[in-house]
Amino acid sequence: MFKQLMIFSIEKESYLRACGHLRKKMNSLVGQANGDNNKPVESSIRSKLEEGLEPNFIQVVNESYMHNVPKGSETHFKVVVVSEKFAGQPLIKRHRMVNELLRNELQTSVHALSIVAKTPEQWQESSKLVEPSPACRGGFGK
């Protein structure tokens, strides 16, 4: 009787462990499908820019890995936004539009933001290649 109970509890334990493992796996699969489970900042940048600028094309690149920050950080970003809303606006105004939409992110977690802001016409004419940001020089100041 006691032996049986032991076996049962061991089985139960390994069963629960397996369940936990499966659940974790499921979560990570769902996360990959959504693409944002582990990237809250990246996804909020994307959704705010999509909402505010209705872009024809948008690219949000997490460049944090290039810098002196822990792995998986969301501190350094590059955004490429192609939107009709930039038409007739000088570059500085376009940057201000982006900065304004991401004000909250820039005040809290985001620390470097490189911006490419073009109209659809300019984007068509351009090489559509986005140059990488300059290499880090170690000055991660706090």
Partner 1 sequence: MFRTIRFASLVRNFATKPEEIGNLVKGNKVVVFMKGVPEEPRCGFSNAVVQILRMHGVQYNAHDVLADEELRQGIKEFSNWPTIPQVYINGEFVGGCDIMLQMHQNGELIEELKKVGINSLLLETAKEADNTKK
Q: Report the residue number, 85 or 96, with the smaller CB distance to partner 1.
A: 96
Residue type for 72, please? G
Cβ distance 42 to 77 under 8 Å?
A: yes
**14-35 burial, b if ≥16 CB within 10 A, otherwise e?**
eeeeeeeeeeeeeeeeeeeeee
Q: Report the residue number, 24 or 103, with the smaller CB distance to partner 1.
A: 103
Smallest distance from the beta carbon of 52 to partner 1, in angstroms?
16
Smallest distance from the beta carbon of 65 to partner 1, in angstroms?
14
The residue length of the chain stands at 142
Residues that bind partner 1 (CB under 8 A): 91-92, 95-96, 99, 103, 106-107, 112-116, 133-139, 141
Q: Report the residue number, 3 or 139, with the smaller CB distance to partner 1.
A: 139
Q: Report the residue number, 9 or 122, with the smaller CB distance to partner 1.
A: 122
How is the beta sheet containing 112-118 ordered, strand by strand?
A: 57-62, 76-82, 112-118
Smallest distance from the beta carbon of 64 to partner 1, in angstroms?
13
